[in-house]
Structure 1
Amino acid sequence: MGPPSYRLAAAITAPSSGEFLVVRQQPPPSPPSAAPGEEEYRRYVDSDLYDLPSAPLLRLADELARSGVAVAGADSLVGRLDVPAALDQILNPLGLTTAMCGEWRLLKYVEEAEFGPDAGVNTVLISGSLESKLEMLQDSCKWMSKEGASELLSEAKPGSARIGPYAYIGLLKPEVSSSQTAASALASQEYPPGLTLVPMKSRTLAPFRTTNLVVIQATSDACGSKRSDFFACGDALLIDPGCCSQVHGELADLVNSLPKKLVVLVTHHHNDHVDGLSVVQRCNPDAVLLTHENTMKRIGKGNWSIGYTAVTGGENICIGDQELQVVFAPGHTDGHMGVLHVNTNALIVGDHCVGHGSATLDSRAGGNMKDYFQTTYKFLEMSPHVLIPMHGRINLWPRHMLCGYLRHRRAREASILKTIENGAQTLFDIVSKTYGDVDSKLWIPASFNVRLHVDHLNSQHKLPKDFSLEMFNGSCDEFVSSL
């Protein structure tokens, strides 16, 4: 897996006012707008994202060399990293110099939790104050108060400006939470505020090794929501406790540290999302389980043996001062659910998206390509500020990512159709030719998507007349033995 990489983020503050400088972040590149099929994606644009300026932080080529920039409180850390080069990348585009920022000091050093599939990115956050506040800033920069940034984060509205994780973790996140839990002792990440992601080892598919357990807890001074139409209420919420047996002890410690009025939501039934349910039930028999009825039918009694409450989408959940809404999101399975964290407009998408690569649909559990497309468009129309998958890192460019998924699925479907038009008749023929550039170890999950793409093509009457669905369906049972 290799060593982690590093990134430097700088909090540049103005004297006396306490404001800090944020920079509008550049979205990932998209295909040219004139490219075929791009017209429909033009209106799906993510809102502006502002964050602390940052740059890659490389190791010094000569281990005996020392950094030329002093960072108070971080001598042992920055001595082996090329801080001057990273600072130049941060300051030069802003028209600033190191000398203008006075003394640099360490704010935080954050080791990224194991989201995978790579070794992660550790972040060095430093701060420095300008001798005088600059009033003439570039269009991409602006001064931001902590109060203003906190409001944008915690009272988010679709389409409004957003504040990124460096600003939150470095300047806005409380040092000691009033709702401290065992999750704090585990490798985790809190962003957006109120949502803690705990990647825990699970029986998931490569290239991932963990499933993100989402922990949401009411703050001790929360007065709760003024609404009265909530479907379920509690003092804490767990989403997808899917860790494997090796870390059930850690999950038990976490559950025991949470308030007893606990709500649990499962996005779907796969092992890497429900393997920890038995631990939750043992530690807190009064916990309330929410899931779709199609999902519950597939969850074994060994995981959850008591009652549950069925959800179909649209239900509102109250966790103290945190409001959430359940979103019906079929496609991956026929009972798949998402969850919108209303306070921050963050969308928890289950396995509809993953942090790296593309999602696999489960044809054995009602997975459906038409549903998958429709759910993707539903997510796009919601205009979330952050996407939270259950595998991999959060995504700060939700609409860009979702459009990328649509492009990928359409390109794959076109490739499958071309392969069929060129004479492929069996599942093995289609997979081997369409996924010829992919490791054959991944052909089995890829075959699930191929079957659903063929069904989707058939529903659109796009399959050639000489293509035999009977022969194709008959070849599916022989696929594994053909590998």
Structure 2
Amino acid sequence: MAKTPQAHDPSTWPTGDLEQLEPLVARVLAPNASAFTYTGTQTYLVGIEDLAVIDPGPADEEHLDALIRAIDGRPIRAIMCTHTHRDHSPAAMPLAERTGAPIVGCAPLRMEGGGGVEAAYDQEYEPDRVLEDGEAMTGAGWTLTALFTPGHISNHLCFALEETGVVFTGDHVMGWSTSVIVPPDGDMGDYMASLHKLYERDDRIYYPAHGPAVEKPKQLVRGNIGHRKAREGQILKLLTEAAQPIEDLVARMYSGVDKRLWPAAQMSVWAHLIHLEQRGLVNRSQNIWTARQNPAPAA
């Protein structure tokens, strides 16, 4: 039976139970809580008579069994993946085998190795259909439109539920944390452009793959843009004071943050530095970064 979630206390969210969030949206929380997934991956079920399953999550038998219970025999129009980190897409194939549903959504991405502090890339993901920006999947009373939002990872999609003003934001925008950008596939310039893309929309609520719903989307996206610009300014200030490696920048910038999270911070600082370098604002010599005294005009 569907349970009523305690939306403002994520620590109480029950793993494996179906929670009805609003008439067309329910979720099942996967048992993969961690420092990078918060309480775990949230798999969303969209629809009533027939369903779309968004971000089926890890290929965990307990989670797959929970999804089958939540689906409760209803037809699945599509298993839809926002991107192919291993906490999002590996359950797509076994769920497709159990239900006969097609896998639809982001493009496959073949990488050498994983994303370091991020979950590894899902190398086995094979969609039946890749959605381009603006393409849609439809069911009984619902329409999900793909929004191409690269940055966190190059194949990232969000899905807009057109009937209700909902956007499923995957890892692009989350209320509990900013997205980690891991080069070389993660790209800060793309991420900033994707934030502006969502900011130009007028959506009612975001349901991210991790953490609570975002009830003031425009405000949060504006804050994320401001946060990244502030980090960029901080990097330029520190490099103006002295040329230094990324490790020293992280130690200064994140001195009050748990050191276990510094590897993730290092990835985002690296992504910022690459973006600044592309715009002619910094130089690098091996692992030492320097602010340009006469920088080229910013793009």
User: Which TM-score bucket, shorter chain as reference?
Assistant: 0.7 to 0.9
Code of the aligned partner of 1:236: L
**Compared with structure 1, are the counterparts of its residues 254 and 198 closer, same or farther at alpha carbon in structure 2 (3 Å cutoff)?**
same
Identity of aligned residues (%): 23
CA contact (8 A) 2:77 2:139 kept: no
Deviation at 1:290, TM superposition (A): 1.4
Which residue number in structure 2 is paired with residue 178 of structure 1? none
Q: Does 1:112 align with 2:3?
A: no
Q: Does 1:195 align with 2:25?
A: yes
**Compared with structure 1, are the counterparts of its residues 420 and 378 closer, same or farther at alpha carbon in structure 2 (3 Å cutoff)?**
same
For 1:216 and 1:296, the matched residues in 2 are separated by 29
Q: Does 1:263 align with 2:157?
A: no
Q: Deviations over 1:11-70 (max 9, x none)?
A: xxxxxxxxxxxxxxxxxxxxxxxxxxxxxxxxxxxxxxxxxxxxxxxxxxxxxxxxxxxx
Deviation at 1:373, TM superposition (A): 1.0
Match of 2:276 among 414, 432, 457: 457
Q: Does 1:279 align with 2:91?
A: no
For 2:5 and 2:203, the matched residues in 1 are separated by 26
CA contact (8 A) 1:256 1:283 kept: no
Tell me the number of residue pairs that the alignment of Structure 1 and Structure 2 aligns: 277
For 2:9 and 2:160, the matched residues in 1 are separated by 21
Which residue number in structure 1 is paired with residue 201 of structure 2? 382
Query: Normalising to structure 2: TM-score of the pair?
Result: 0.83
Unaligned runs of 5+ in 2: 112-120, 290-299
**Compared with structure 1, are the counterparts of its residues 470 and 259 closer, same or farther at alpha carbon in structure 2 (3 Å cutoff)?**
same
Deviation at 1:110, TM superposition (A): 4.3
Match of 1:319 among 115, 132, 139: 139
Deviation at 1:291, TM superposition (A): 2.7
1:189-338 equivalent positions in 2, closer than 5 A: 189-191=20-22, 193-202=23-32, 204-206=34-36, 208-219=38-49, 235-243=50-58, 245=60, 247-254=62-69, 257-284=72-99, 286-295=100-109, 298-301=121-124, 304=125, 308-338=128-158
For 1:342 and 1:207, the matched residues in 2 are separated by 27
CA contact (8 A) 1:425 1:468 kept: no
SS in structure 2 of the partner of residue 407 of structure 1: helix
Q: Does 1:370 align with 2:201?
A: no
Code of the aligned partner of 1:264: I
* Structure label with greater radius of gyration: 1
For 1:300 and 1:456, the matched residues in 2 are separated by 27
**Compared with structure 1, are the counterparts of its residues 418 and 189 closer, same or farther at alpha carbon in structure 2 (3 Å cutoff)?**
farther
For 1:419 and 1:244, the matched residues in 2 are separated by 43
Q: Does 1:341 align with 2:155?
A: no
Q: Does 1:356 align with 2:172?
A: no
For 1:249 and 1:411, the matched residues in 2 are separated by 41
**Compared with structure 1, are the counterparts of its residues 261 and 200 closer, same or farther at alpha carbon in structure 2 (3 Å cutoff)?**
closer
For 1:205 and 1:271, the matched residues in 2 are separated by 15
**Compared with structure 1, are the counterparts of its residues 437 and 308 closer, same or farther at alpha carbon in structure 2 (3 Å cutoff)?**
same
Code of the aligned partner of 1:310: V
Deviation at 1:214, TM superposition (A): 0.8
Query: Normalising to structure 1: TM-score of the pair?
Result: 0.53
Q: Does 1:470 align with 2:289?
A: no
CA contact (8 A) 2:28 2:67 kept: no
SS in structure 1 of the partner of residue 42 of structure 2: strand
**Compared with structure 1, are the counterparts of its residues 353 and 252 closer, same or farther at alpha carbon in structure 2 (3 Å cutoff)?**
closer
SS in structure 2 of the partner of residue 213 of structure 1: strand
Which residue number in structure 2 is paired with residue 480 of structure 1? none
Code of the aligned partner of 2:159: V
Deviation at 1:462, TM superposition (A): 1.5
Q: Deviations over 1:391-447 (max 9, x none)?
A: 011111010000010111111111112122222421211111111111110011111
1:61-100 equivalent positions in 2, closer than 5 A: none
CA contact (8 A) 1:255 1:280 kept: no
Deviation at 1:307, TM superposition (A): 5.3
Deviation at 1:202, TM superposition (A): 2.1
Code of the aligned partner of 1:408: H
SS in structure 2 of the partner of residue 272 of structure 1: coil
Code of the aligned partner of 2:260: K
CA contact (8 A) 1:266 1:274 kept: yes
**Compared with structure 1, are the counterparts of its residues 360 and 334 closer, same or farther at alpha carbon in structure 2 (3 Å cutoff)?**
same
**Compared with structure 1, are the counterparts of its residues 291 and 392 closer, same or farther at alpha carbon in structure 2 (3 Å cutoff)?**
same
Deviation at 1:254, TM superposition (A): 3.2
Deviation at 1:294, TM superposition (A): 4.2
Code of the aligned partner of 2:137: I
For 2:135 and 2:261, the matched residues in 1 are separated by 36
Q: Deviations over 1:183-240 (max 9, x none)?
A: 9x8152423x301122222265347131111101243xxxxxxxxxxxxxxx310010
For 2:18 and 2:48, the matched residues in 1 are separated by 20
For 2:258 and 2:137, the matched residues in 1 are separated by 42
